[in-house]
């Protein structure tokens, strides 16, 4: 299965589980964690899957969910040439800015 197809499947499952109230996130980290769980259940390999991580080309930002190889030859390890980057945004009821 291609990464695009895997992404479509896991986003569909996340949406279905949220609507069916089998998944109730409180924070964006809950969404990233659930995506991680779903990805592993489909792909079975976590070696290139990273949460809350840096991308070498954007060293001052962290991204919620990234697929790519780790580059260690820098001050802070980061992902070089990411293949997939997801940034989760969640606005639950009752939360204020």
Q: What is the mean pLDDT of residues 26-31?
A: 90
**pTM of the shown model:** 0.84
pLDDT in the model for residue 95: 56
Domain boundaries, the chain: 3-86
Q: Which two tokens stand for residue 66?
A: 């990234």
What distance in Å separates the CA atoms of residue 34 and residue 50, rounded to the nearest whole number? Answer: 13
pLDDT in the model for residue 96: 59
What distance in Å separates the CA atoms of residue 42 and residue 28, rounded to the nearest whole number? Answer: 21
Beta-ladder partners of 54: 62
Q: Count CB-CB contacts under 10 A for residue 2.
A: 7
Render pLDDT for 7-26 as a digit per residue (tens, 0 to 9): 899 999 999 999 999 999 98
pLDDT in the model for residue 2: 82
Render pLDDT for 36-86 as a digit per residue (tens, 0 to 9): 999 999 888 888 999 999 999 998 999 999 999 999 988 889 999 999 999
What distance in Å separates the CA atoms of residue 3 and residue 20, rounded to the nearest whole number? Answer: 25
pLDDT in the model for residue 91: 75
């Amino acid at each position: 299965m291609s990464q695009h197809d895997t992404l479509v499947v896991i986003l569909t499952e996340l949406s279905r589980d949220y609507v069916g109230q089998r998944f109730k996130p409180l924070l964006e980290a809950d969404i990233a964690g659930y995506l991680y769980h779903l990805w592993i259940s489909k792909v079975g390999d976590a070696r290139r899957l990273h949460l809350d991580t840096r991308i070498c080309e954007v060293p001052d930002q962290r991204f919620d969910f990234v697929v790519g190889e780790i580059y260690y030859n820098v001050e802070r390890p980061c992902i070089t040439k990411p293949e997939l980057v997801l940034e989760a945004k969640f606005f639950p009821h009752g939360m204020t800015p």
